[in-house]
Structure 1
Amino acid sequence: MRLAFEGERSGTAPLAWGQRSIWIAMCRTMPSDHYFNFGRVLAVAPHPPPAVLDALAALIARHESLRTRLRQVGGDVHQAVERSGVLEVEVVDSPAADLERNAQDMLERLAAPVFDYYAEWPVRVGLVTCDGDVRSVVIVFCHLAADGLGADVAVRELRLLLRRGSVPGPPPRQPLDLAREQQSPAGGRVSSSALAFWEREYRRIPPSMFGAPAGPPLRPRFWRAAMTSRAMETAVRVISGRHRVSGTTVLLAGAAAMVGEVTGHRTCAMLPVVNNRFHVRDREVVTPLAQDGLFVLDLADDTFEGLLRSAWASSLRAYKHTRFDPLELRRMVESVSAERGATVHPHCCFNDQRFVERARVEPAEHDEAAIRSLLGETTVTWPVKLDQLNCRFCLHVTDGPGGLGVSLTADTAFLPPEAMEGYLRGFERLLVEAACREVRLAELPDLAAMAAT
């Protein structure tokens, strides 16, 4: 089935900072860059296929990122917005009982191949029909077109287009305009201010959190351990409520403490992915706005409670300095690395992908025995193995029906599988104990040993 679309303009511009950041990461991950593909499934009331195609065409017309491809201009990669085009749409007919399974199968199938960034449209669309009507819309995004929150905006607007025929209000800012704004003198000042912070911190952090290989890598080299934990979910809620900080801050503090325990470093540097949607004008933009923050935590506190206070302040500093030109960051890193005589890069990433983080955290009632008993329900699986990745340690947090999802994708040369699982279970045990009592950081070796038994 063919989907024709037409927007209001075309144009070419350099990549915006968020686009450039994810493009650098994708290039470092090639040929395994399908890792960055992601998608959404929208279950809908029965609609005839032409109505769904009309809604999709309106969505693509509204958001220029969904009709943007890459183009080489003067030796650099630029974004090229096309005014119109045609997208091939896959259609699968399904019995009513199998709609969910077939939609998920379609999502996985469409997300599996690498995008052709120069020739292919940056979205893939599929429809699952039953009795002639569309019941699920499957959209797979190239990460150059959207980040997770941008994809959620697109899906929400598609739902409105199907229900009401329109989206209220004018279209949001577009990546072309964003890129031109970032190249202005005002954009340069924003970038320079952020990079001054990064440079100060890069002069004092360890060159890498994972600098010494533990042994020969496995094949494939990069493995993912995925933990599902109701115990950790409950512990994060309890600690967050008790200390009036976000769950992300709790997780960052715990993750940094455990990285320090594994590596022996007393200063931990992590790169949290920050959504950069703090300004109201950016909340509905469909493009990758997210960039890395630099979270630096000195592990000098005696207790986890003290570390949590330090982590709160460090996270605010990180979030404040996340809008910068990635090419200027690369030049700064090269300069500082040459000065220090070693390549400086934390190789330690953190991404809290949960959709909702409560703005006002309320104290959580808890029962210590009940929290500890949940440890027995925790599961660890190994869903992904990759030949290439752009990092040595990538920690992701998601919500799930069975509890908090915490996955660690790591370079097996630096963290073999048994160490990956040990990290996750030690991380879980730390937060569970911190929810029940005061934990001294000197206890971390004992907590890790308890988690391993």
Structure 2
Amino acid sequence: MIAFSGARSGTAPLTWGQRAIWDTIQRTAPDDHYFNFGRVLEVPRGARPASVARAARGIGLVVERHESLRTLVGPGPCQDLRDRGELPVRIVADADPAEILAELTATAFAYASEWPLRVALVTRGDEVTHVVLAFCHLASDGLGAEEVVRDLRLLLLRGRLTHGLHGGAPPQPFDLALWQESPAGRRQAGSAASYWEREHRRMPPTMFHVSSGGGELPPIWRGTLNSPAIDLAAQRLAVRHGMSTSTVLLTAVSALVAEVTGHETVAVLPIVSNRFRADTRTAVTTLSQEGLFVLDVEKSRFADLLSAARPAVLRAYRSAYHDPADRERIVAETSRDRGTPIHPYCCFNDMRFTEQAVYRDEALIRRALPESSLTWPLSQEQLNCRFCVHLSGAMQVSLTADTRWLSKQDIERFLFGLERLLVEAALR
């Protein structure tokens, strides 16, 4: 056990980000372990040899520093912040850290009674070689987890956190929730709500509205295309059009959704970090929320779509910092007024932390095409969406879909169709 004691305890409302992921977890249960994720920290060379006691001390200090890591879900639901406790730690000798992480993330958290962080220390002899951290998504998103890893690395190296960026108290979700209920927070929420309502009045009710005529058992499947060609083509297009590769890929996904579904207006829910403000940038909490990206596709050339996507992406990013209660109200009202449920059920999540855009040579892109490979790493019973594209690694494009709306064959066709669209546009 790792004992910790923090500066305060108490209850507060869930933040907007926490409420968004909590609603998603509820809709995905009992397969809500889907949202668990983790990090593996190899003990830095300058901190070796690291004893179990030293590693445990660092983890305890990180939990004390970041209140979300000692916050449970209370009745309401609400944030139930505790000022002290003991965090279980698993110590395993000569193990593969990736396998340990898979074990730690394989089961859902007990949100009301289990600390939202699971820890394992991988040892060789008396020395800790790796720290394995499994996060509940209510406690952190990917960028928040990077803050935890950065703090833990510094503590292992120096025994303390340096002054400056990591010296002062970081933003806490407890305080953020109170700001979101303030007049300034309500002004932000109102601005986002106006956009959500306007777009919900004009966009198609949903993207994937035609049954596939069947479905696999279990119905949810993920296809992952490892495609260096997509990476190179997206970089070439990003430089050519003066935008990020993420915008290029979101636009390409939208264009292909239009082709598959027949919609002339496409609505996609991109996951946005919401770390644009000083009071959120370094917070360890779940800030990521869905924005609303709406693009009129019609029969436009892809180059024209990229130009139209630039302002649409900015609107989507701004809309992501919203109150989920406002969004629920808007969805209910527009669904009632239009006489049909309104929800895109179409998501896009760029999970890469950095991206590089270089104007790549045509021959390099062509040579990369034979290197593409498709795998099927996941299947499960429940998901809160029908269509989710994830970007990770050098360029792994994953499509997780409900096969009752998009068959496995259609998933495969979509992924390779995305590659073809981007490569052809890059070489044009």
Confirm or deny a common fold (TM above 0.5): yes
Q: Deviations over 1:316-373 (max 9, x none)?
A: 1111221111012101110100000000000000000001135xx5x51412x43123
1:68 paired to 2:71:
yes
Pairwise CA distance, 1:300: 3.4
Distance 1:127 1:157 in 2: 17
Match of 2:279, SS state, is helix
**1:332 equivalent in alignment to 2:335:** no
Match of 2:418 in 1: 427
* Unaligned 5+ runs, structure 2: none
Name the counterpart of 1:112: 106
Contact 2:232 2:360 in 1 (8 A): no
The one-letter amino acid of 1:264's match is: G
How far did 1:188 drift?
1.1
Distance in 2 of aligned mates of 1:123 and 1:32: 18
Paired with 2:185 and 2:355, the residues of 1 have a C-alpha distance of: 29
1:315 to 285, 290, 313: 313
Question: 1:443 corresponds to which residue?
Answer: none
Partner residue, 1:436: 427
Say yes or no: does 1:373 pair with 2:373: no
Distance 1:412 1:252 in 2: 22
Say whether the 8 Å CA contact 1:271–1:350 is kept in structure 2.
yes
Cα distance in structure 2, aligned partners of 1:146 and 1:297: 30
Q: Is the Cα–Cα contact under 8 Å of residues 227 and 396 in structure 2 kept in the other structure?
A: yes
- Whole-angstrom CA distance in 1 between matches of 2:133 and 2:423: 37
User: 1:181, CA displacement in angstroms?
Assistant: 0.6
In 1, the alpha carbon distance for the partners of 2:341 and 2:375 equals 33
The one-letter code matched in structure 2 to 1:148 is G
- From 390, 394, 398, the equivalent of 1:407 is 398
Asked if the contact 1:301/1:307 (under 8 Å) is kept, the reply is no
Classify the secondary structure of the residue corresponding to 1:281: coil
The answer to whether the 8 Å contact 1:396/1:408 transfers is yes
State the one-letter code of the partner of 2:74. R
Give the aligned partner of residue 134 of structure 1. 128
Structure 1 segments of 4+ aligned residues over 4 angstroms from their partners: none
TM-superposed deviation, 1:301 = 5.6
Aligned-partner Cα distance in 2 for 1:301–1:175: 45
List alignment gaps of at least 5 residues for structure 1.
438-453
How many residue pairs get aligned? The number is: 420
SS at match of 1:46: coil
Map 1:25-424 to 2 at 5 A.
Answer: 25-44=24-43, 45-72=48-75, 76-94=76-94, 102-167=96-161, 168=163, 169-300=167-298, 302-357=300-355, 363-367=358-362, 369-400=363-394, 404-424=395-415
SS at match of 1:282: coil
> In the alignment, what sits opposite 1:440?
none
* Other structure's SS at 1:47 match: coil
Q: Residue deviations 1:263-290, cap 9 Å, x none?
A: 0001010000000001233221000011
Q: Which amino acid aligns with 1:411?
A: D
Q: CA RMSD in A?
A: 1.1
CA distance in 2, matches of 1:243, 1:175: 38
SS in 1 for 2:208: coil
CA displacement, residues 92-119 of structure 1 (integer Å, 9 cap, x when unaligned): 111xxxx5xx111110001101100001
Note the C-alpha offset of 1:376.
1.2
Look up the equivalent residue of 1:58 and give its one-letter code: L
Report the Cα distance in structure 2 between the residues aligned to 1:26 and 1:302, rounded to whole angstroms: 37
Distance 2:7 2:249 in 1: 44
Q: Indicate the SS of the match to 2:249.
A: helix
Q: Deviations over 1:165-212 (max 9, x none)?
A: 222321211111000110112211110110110100000110000112
TM-score by length of 2: 0.96
TM superposition shift of 1:374: 1.6
Shift in Å, 1:54: 0.6
The one-letter code sitting in structure 1 at the alignment partner of 2:18 is Q
Corresponding residue of 2:22: 23
Instruction: Give the whole-Å Cα distance in 2 for the aligned partners of 1:216 and 1:188.
Output: 45
Normalising by structure 1, we get a TM-score of 0.91
* Distance in 1 separating the partners of 2:13 and 2:217: 37
